[in-house]
């Protein structure tokens, strides 16, 4: 057989194999596409193509684990904003009213256009650009407040009017609260979100990373592991310059974020040792993160980490790492138990995305943190507080702690208007923080008994 003919046969065979392989991959997509077209053409009622696509994708990912999902357009934008720690808007935190009324302003952000325009905590948003939003759900109101940078939005808020003080000891009937409408015009801007917080803000709106009741104990609360969290943590720790006797690192309510950010932050506390490893399909080790030499926190300074049932993923990586390396005492309640790694895979040229579990991570001890759907309390999952460090919070304490966190973020401009000057201190209202401080003081006293006595 001439060599030319042999080459043609080989090329044809290769093309045939490629076509067969491509057909096997494309065939399921063709079936889904055909079904969407048939529904669109023949279903008895009109259908929305985007809704059909979302339903199809949700059905596909529903057979996977609970952390794999399809992220449609608007949700994908919000997701990217949370990871990038910035968004285009006016700069307020809002919440739904308990009675189903208008969306309430929790607080304008420090340095935001909303603060300059006159927004205050407690304001009820009733109109946006002359549209009544008083009965709209929170997501719809948030969407209307967002928009291109540099554009303006008109917002009408209902605010409790200032009234003369009434003598509560008198027998006169107390008047009903009086509200007034304020029309505010605010220009949208790029708003940067903080992920690192302290115990309170000073008069210049800078976080103070020390406990007000005991400034010798540093306090840092991390709310997420975003793109800027490493730089924020570095700045906070360098600002403290190891000029403290102990550190409380608060990861309660932190649902996680970026894996590399978790590894970087854990490395700030460790001079050596393993941080975390990840394994892909078949248990193959994909990556192994170890501490580099040097730390931002002196190895002699005791650390307590606060966790709860909402501390997940990256929070558990840091807590488990420092617990296994005997670098920190874990205080609070058992963490969530999310020990899987997700990749964000863009779809539709970046207009949507697939959030897909691609690996599991393992703490330095070799244990997998992930809680299976059928896991029992006695099974091994999550991060468990050290012995005698389990501290439960009742609903009243949870509410007080949440309110304390919100109020600590208020800009100095509005603090005197809305806060009680006689409010209880952090350790008074927070049993978990109080226990962390107690164990840190015990460690400080055992390490330097003469200094403590003095």
Q: Of the spans 14-18, 289-293, 349-353, which averages the highest pLDDT?
A: 289-293
Total domains in the fold of the chain: 2
Task: Mark 277-293 as b/e (b = at least 16 C-beta within 10 Å).
Answer: bbbeeeeeeeeebebee
| pLDDT bucket at 453, cuts 50 / 70 / 90 | very low
Active site residue 313: yes
- Residue 286 contacts by C-beta under 8 Å, 6 or more apart in sequence? 278, 279, 280, 359
Same-domain pairing of 226 and 183: no
Same-domain pairing of 147 and 122: yes
- The arithmetic mean of pLDDT across residues 206-210, rounded, is 97
Same-domain pairing of 115 and 206: no
| pLDDT bucket at 167, cuts 50 / 70 / 90 | low
Same-domain pairing of 124 and 265: no
Q: Of the spans 28-42, 246-260, 344-358, which averages the highest pLDDT?
A: 246-260
Active site residue 397: no
- Residue 417 contacts by C-beta under 8 Å, 6 or more apart in sequence? 120
Q: Indicate whether 22 belongs to any domain.
A: no
Tokens 């008047």 sit at which residue? 175
What confidence tens digit (pLDDT) does each residue in 253-296 have? 999 999 999 999 999 999 999 999 999 988 888 889 999 988 99
Question: Over 60: is that where the pLDDT of 14 sits?
Answer: no
* pLDDT of the residue at 229: 97
* pLDDT of the residue at 20: 45
Question: Over 50: is that where the pLDDT of 23 sits?
Answer: no
Percent above pLDDT 90 for the chain: 63
Q: Please choose, from the candidates 332, 334, 340, the residue with its C-alpha nearest in 3D space to the C-alpha of residue 356.
A: 340
* pLDDT of the residue at 269: 98
Q: Please choose, from the candidates 134, 142, 132, the residue with its C-alpha nearest in 3D space to the C-alpha of residue 92.
A: 142
Task: Mark 185-205 as b/e (b = at least 16 C-beta within 10 Å).
Answer: ebebbebebbbbbbbbbeeeb
Identify the H or E element spanning 396: helix 395-408
Beta carbons of 148 and 164 less than 8 angstroms apart: no
Same-domain pairing of 235 and 331: yes
Same-domain pairing of 140 and 279: no
What confidence tens digit (pLDDT) does each residue in 83-124 have? 888 888 999 999 998 788 899 999 999 999 999 999 999 999
Q: Please choose, from the candidates 344, 335, 320, 369, the residue with its C-alpha nearest in 3D space to the C-alpha of residue 257.
A: 344
Question: Over 80: is that where the pLDDT of 422 sits?
Answer: no
* pLDDT of the residue at 175: 61
Question: In this predicted structure, which of 17-31, 204-218, 371-385, 440-454 has the lowest mean pLDDT?
Answer: 17-31
Same-domain pairing of 351 and 401: yes
The single residue of 156, 277, 311, 313 carrying the catalytic annotation is: 313
Beta pairing class for 303-307 and 246-250? parallel
Same-domain pairing of 100 and 137: yes
* pLDDT of the residue at 194: 94
Q: Indicate whether 37 belongs to any domain.
A: no
| pLDDT bucket at 373, cuts 50 / 70 / 90 | confident
- The arithmetic mean of pLDDT across residues 163-173, rounded, is 53
What is the CATH number for 153?
2.30.42.10
Same-domain pairing of 135 and 232: no
Calculate the average pLDDT of the chain: 87
What confidence tens digit (pLDDT) does each residue in 114-160 have? 999 999 999 999 999 999 999 999 989 998 998 899 999 999 999 98
Same-domain pairing of 157 and 203: no
| pLDDT bucket at 74, cuts 50 / 70 / 90 | confident
Active site residue 338: yes
| pLDDT bucket at 450, cuts 50 / 70 / 90 | very low
Same-domain pairing of 349 and 250: yes
Same-domain pairing of 119 and 259: no
Residue numbers of the domain that contains 135: 87-162+177-191
The single residue of 123, 264, 324, 430 carrying the catalytic annotation is: 324
Question: In this predicted structure, which of 10-24, 118-132, 184-198, 385-399 has the lowest mean pLDDT?
Answer: 10-24
The single residue of 338, 400, 408, 430 carrying the catalytic annotation is: 338
Reduced to 3 states, what is the DSSP secondary structure of residue 220?
strand
Beta carbons of 320 and 251 less than 8 angstroms apart: no
| pLDDT bucket at 233, cuts 50 / 70 / 90 | very high
């Amino acid at each position: 057989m001439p060599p030319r003919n042999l080459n043609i046969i080989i090329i044809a065979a290769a093309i045939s194999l490629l076509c067969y392989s491509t057909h096997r991959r494309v065939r399921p997509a063709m079936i889904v596409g055909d079904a969407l077209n048939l529904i669109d053409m023949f279903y008895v009622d009109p259908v929305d193509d985007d809704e059909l696509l979302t339903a199809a994708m949700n059905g596909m990912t529903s057979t996977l684990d609970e952390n794999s999902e399809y992220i449609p357009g608007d949700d994908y934008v919000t997701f990217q904003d949370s990871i990038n720690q910035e968004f285009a808007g006016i700069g307020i935190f809002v919440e739904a009213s308990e009675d189903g009324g208008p969306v309430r302003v929790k607080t304008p952000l420090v340095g935001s256009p909303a603060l300059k325009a006159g927004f205050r905590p407690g304001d009820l948003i009733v109109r946006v650009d002359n549209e009544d939003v008083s009965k709209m759900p929170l997501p719809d109101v948030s969407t209307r407040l967002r928009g291109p940078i540099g554009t303006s939005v008109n917002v009408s808020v209902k605010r409790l009017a200032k009234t003369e003080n009434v003598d509560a000891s008198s027998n006169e009937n107390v008047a009903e609260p009086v509200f007034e409408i304020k029309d505010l015009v605010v220009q949208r801007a790029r708003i940067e979100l903080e992920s690192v917080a302290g115990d309170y803000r000073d008069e210049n709106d800078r976080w103070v990373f020390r406990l007000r009741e005991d400034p010798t104990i540093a306090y840092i609360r991390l709310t997420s592991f975003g793109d800027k969290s490493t730089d924020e943590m570095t700045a906070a720790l360098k600002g403290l310059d190891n000029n403290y006797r102990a550190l409380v690192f608060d990861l309660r309510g932190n649902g996680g974020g970026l894996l590399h950010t978790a590894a970087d932050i854990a490395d700030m506390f460790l001079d050596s040792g393993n941080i975390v490893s990840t394994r892909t399909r078949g248990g193959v080790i994909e990556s192994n993160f170890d501490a580099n030499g040097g730390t931002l926190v002196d190895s002699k300074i005791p650390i307590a980490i606060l966790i709860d049932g909402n501390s997940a993923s990256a929070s558990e990586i840091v807590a488990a790492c420092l617990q296994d390396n005997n670098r920190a005492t874990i205080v609070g309640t058992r963490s969530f138990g999310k020990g899987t790694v997700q990749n964000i895979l863009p779809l539709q040229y970046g207009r949507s995305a697939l959030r897909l579990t691609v690996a599991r991570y393992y703490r330095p001890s070799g244990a997998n943190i992930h809680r299976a759907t059928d896991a029992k309390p006695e099974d091994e999952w999550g991060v468990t507080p050290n012995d005698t460090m389990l501290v439960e919070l009742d609903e009243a304490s949870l509410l007080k702690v949440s309110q304390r966190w919100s109020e600590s973020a208020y800009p100095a401009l509005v603090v005197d208007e809305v806060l009680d000057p006689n409010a209880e201190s952090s350790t008074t209202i927070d049993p978990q923080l109080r226990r962390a401080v107690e164990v840190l003081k015990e460690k400080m006293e055992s390490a330097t008994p003469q200094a403590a006595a003095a």
